[in-house]
Amino acid sequence: MADTVTTDILIVGAGPVGLFGAYTAGFRGLSTVLVDSLPQCGGQIAALYPEKEIRDIAGVPAARGREVVAALKTQADAFEPTYLLGREALTMEHSAEGRPVVTLSDGTIVDAGAVIVTAGIGTFTPRTLPAGEEFLDRGLSYFVPNPDEHTGRDVLVVGGGDSAVDWALALRKIARSVTVVHRRSTFRAHAASVQELKTSDVEIITDAQVAALHGNGTISQAHVRVDGQDDHRVLEVDSVIAALGFISNLGPLTKWGMELDRRTIVVDTRMQTNVPRVYAAGDITSYTGKVRLMSVGFGEVATAVNNAAVVLDPELTLFPGHSTDG
């Protein structure tokens, strides 16, 4: 027989925004369950960018992703939320009392007063590098969970977005050499980061693509095709990091009846969806003027929690008071 867990707030997505939501709910005296398909808290940051410096949190000039996640979890744990990790939220229906009832992929049933979806970009899979896919995990990787593995190596980073530029800048401090190959002449990454890259010792090859990877067991060479040149350029490399972006998918959430805008969930000013007692916050949401920053997500999930609180108990006030109030 499936286990049933009863809670005031179910948060779907245990990334930074979800963790702050658990703290906010706990501060209001609400019990909280966090569900995530990943086996650990932290969402995309913990899975893909644990060593990346996060710089868009007020009052925190810079902190590594894993440090931000650890601090947010410590903050949430003060109110003892329940973590149901490594399982996916599949279906949602309402009980006779109007409470959302969510079934997880392991059969667990969560009976909640309200649901807040903080699933980031949903499930994500990396865009593959067509050349040399057979070298995956043998020199080719799509993210860098442990930068130290690239110490003293000749590293090739493929891509022109924030991840590619961030990893190139981070690894240049420990690698023997770092080269960036980008298929365009301009970069999509943040302008300040691109400027830092251009003034660093990282070699930049633009208007180019990786045509093939070669090696005996592990990568030793990358053949790069540069626009306008007949011959491939051959690079001696030990590691290739293909930071080409990710394909996101909302998965079962698309069947919950929520209004969607492409791959995002439409919410109102209360962060409520069109489904009763179901809210959303963070990158997964969509509304006019939306800015996708982690700091914005923190405010959104606080708004969602406090609006859910007064739905669960109409005698509560929307404003929760300040954490410094005696």
Q: Is 135 annotated to bind ligand?
A: no
Instruction: Classify residue 133 by burial, with Cβ atoms within 10 Å: 0-12, 13-18, 19+.
Output: exposed
Q: Is 23 annotated to bind ligand?
A: no
The whole-number pLDDT of residue 245 equals 83
Q: Which CATH number does the domain 4-124+246-312 belong to among 3.50.50.60, 3.30.310.80, 3.40.50.300, 3.40.50.150?
A: 3.50.50.60
The whole-number pLDDT of residue 204 equals 98
Instruction: Please name which of 18, 249, 2 lies closest in space to residue 101, comparing C-alpha atoms.
Output: 2
Tell me which architecture the domain covering 128-242 has in CATH. Answer: 3-Layer(bba) Sandwich (3.50)
Residue ranges per structural domain of the chain: 4-124+246-312, 128-242
pTM for the full model?
0.76
Q: Is 91 annotated to bind ligand?
A: no
Q: Is 79 annotated to bind ligand?
A: no
Give the Å distances, CA to CA, from 228 to 58, 159, 182, 222, 236.
46, 19, 15, 18, 22
The whole-number pLDDT of residue 1 equals 55
The whole-number pLDDT of residue 76 equals 98
Q: Is 49 annotated to bind ligand?
A: yes
Same topology, domains 4-124+246-312 and 128-242? Answer is yes
pLDDT, mean of each 10-residue run, the chain (326 residues): 90 97 97 93 80 84 91 97 95 97 97 96 81 92 86 97 90 96 94 94 97 95 94 95 86 95 94 98 95 94 97 91 72
Interacting residues of 315 by C-beta distance below 8 A, sequence separation 6+: none
**Chain-centroid distance, C-alpha 43:** 5
User: Do the Cβ atoms of 127 and 246 come closer than 8 Å?
Assistant: yes
Place of tokens 């990358």: 222
Q: Is 283 annotated to bind ligand?
A: yes
Give the Å distances, CA to CA, from 3 to 33, 82, 104, 106, 179.
14, 14, 10, 10, 52
Distance CA 269, CA 280 (A): 11
